[in-house]
Amino acid sequence: MLLAEDYRSINDAVFAAGMTGNRLIDAPASYHGGACGFPVGDGYSEIHKWKDGRTIVKGNNFSSTTFTSPNVDLIWLQQHTSVSIR
């Protein structure tokens, strides 16, 4: 699965989200009305609208974020990710 990363969080060639806990390492894009497209290798695609305002980057930069309470968007990313890098 691929996705667009918010330009303010690009720091390498990989998008990463913590697979345990509440850590968002990179920020997904939200350029399309607070949503992001997810194309998959088999030709399927899905648009996901972010539901938690903390997922959308505000301001001029982004750094890895650990949420103090669950973030439904991070949970969605964890459920739709096929590889875990620790």
**Two tokens, residue 75:** 């949970």
Domain segments of the chain as ranges: 7-79
Q: Which residues of 1-13 are buried (b: 16+ CB within 10 A; e: fewer)?
A: eebebbebbeeee
Does the pLDDT value for residue 85 go beyond 80? no
Structure tokens at 86: 């620790």
Question: What does the pLDDT look like over 4-30, one tens digit per residue?
Answer: 889 998 888 888 888 878 888 888 999
What is the rounded (10 degree) CA torsion for 86, 60, 80, 70? 80
pLDDT at residue number 84: 56
Say if pTM beats, i.e. exceeds, 0.85: no
Cα(first)–Cα(last) distance of the chain, in Å? Answer: 18
